[in-house]
């Protein structure tokens, strides 16, 4: 019997939106080195390179990382007042991609009404409190029994430890009693099925080529809209 449904965040609970991640770092660097265009451009490029390298490295070892790691990789000092203002500009750039799918709240309530535990497991370098604030803004934070952000973990998806941490957060210890819903065949579907969960694919994300990993895996179900999920889970 299914006892819990755990969701990916970006591209699943939030609709996929193709973003210029370099623009986010340019926003950071332009405030970090205000008035010095050359230094700002060099810092933005170093940060974008470090950011991309960290995400690409997940394919090899699934090591989790944080914004602080990216800054350190780029040799960017972040212990002064300029950093705080610059980080706020970086975050503002990404807010447009953080809005929860309008179908999420009614879908989540329908699952909770059946007594299912609900969780999130997201591969993210952003602090958990950023995510919680956005979920609170959209009125869905309190619908989750557990929220697991890889920025708080040593490993991210598809590493088994990440999925077990998400199970722990919702209080379910049997992977066969869990469903994972995500948009990435490698990170989400193969990772979930690798630990014994059922897996549902939401197939609308344009995953960057450098983050893709060919994988021979078949989801247990595919949904085009989040509103379809309660009926899928009901059948299990």
Q: Is the preceding peptide bond at 158 cis, omega within 30 degrees of 0? A: yes
Structure-token pair, residue 39? 């230094």
Classify 138 as helix, strand or coil. coil
Average pLDDT of the chain is 94
Q: What is the pLDDT of residues 92-124, one digit of tens each?
A: 999 999 999 999 999 999 999 999 999 999 999
CATH architecture, domain defined by 4-16+98-234: 3-Layer(aba) Sandwich (3.40)
The number of C-alpha atoms within 13 Å of 62 and in the hemisphere containing its C-beta is 18
Residues 112 and 229 sit within 8 Å (Cβ to Cβ): no
How far, in Å, CA of 22 to CA of 108, rounded?
Answer: 33
Q: Which helix (H) or strand (E) holds 119?
A: strand 117-122
Compute the Cα dihedral for 183, 184, 187, 191 and give only its sign: positive
pTM above 0.85, yes or no: yes
How is 167-198 classified by DSSP, letter by letter? Answer: HHHHT---GGGEEEEES-IIIIIIHHHHTT-E
Q: For position 231, what pLDDT does the model report?
A: 96
Q: Do β-strands 178-182 and 146-149 pair in parallel, antiparallel, or remain unpaired?
A: unpaired
Query: Per residue of the chain (236 residues), what is the pLDDT tens digit?
Result: 999 999 999 999 999 999 999 999 999 999 999 999 999 999 999 999 999 999 998 888 899 999 999 999 998 877 677 899 999 999 999 999 999 999 999 999 999 999 999 999 999 999 999 999 999 999 999 999 999 999 999 999 999 999 999 999 999 999 999 999 999 999 999 999 999 999 999 998 677 776 677 788 999 999 999 999 999 999 89
How far, in Å, CA of 180 to CA of 62, rounded?
Answer: 18
Domain boundaries, the chain: 4-16+98-234, 21-96
In a 10 Å sphere around its CB, with 0-12 CB exposed, 13-18 middle and 19+ buried, how is residue 211 labelled? middle
Q: For position 66, what pLDDT does the model report?
A: 97
Q: For position 121, what pLDDT does the model report?
A: 98
């Amino acid at each position: 019997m299914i006892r819990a449904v755990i969701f990916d965040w970006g591209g699943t609970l939030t609709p996929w939106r193709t973003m210029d991640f370099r623009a986010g770092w340019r926003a950071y660097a332009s405030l970090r080195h205000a008035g010095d265009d050359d230094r700002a451009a060099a810092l933005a490029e170093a940060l974008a390179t470090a950011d991309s390298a960290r995400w690409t490295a997940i394919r090899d070892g699934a090591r989790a990382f944080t914004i602080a790691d990216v800054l350190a990789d780029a040799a960017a000092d972040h212990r002064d007042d300029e950093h705080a203002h610059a980080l706020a500009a970086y975050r503002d750039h990404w807010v447009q991609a953080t809005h929860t799918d309008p179908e999420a709240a009614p879908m989540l309530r329908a699952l909770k009404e059946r007594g299912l535990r609900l969780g999130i497991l997201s591969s993210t370098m952003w602090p958990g409190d950023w995510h919680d604030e956005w979920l609170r803004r959209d009125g869905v934070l309190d619908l989750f029994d557990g929220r697991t952000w890889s920025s708080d973990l040593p490993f991210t998806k598809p590493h088994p430890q990440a999925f077990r941490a998400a199970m722990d957060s919702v209080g379910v210890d049997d992977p066969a009693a869990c469903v994972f819903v995500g948009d990435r065949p490698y990170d989400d579907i193969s990772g979930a099925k690798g630990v014994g969960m059922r897996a549902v694919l939401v197939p609308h994300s344009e995953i960057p080529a450098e983050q893709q990993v060919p994988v021979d895996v078949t989801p247990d179900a595919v949904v085009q809209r989040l509103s379809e999920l309660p009926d899928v889970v009901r059948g299990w």
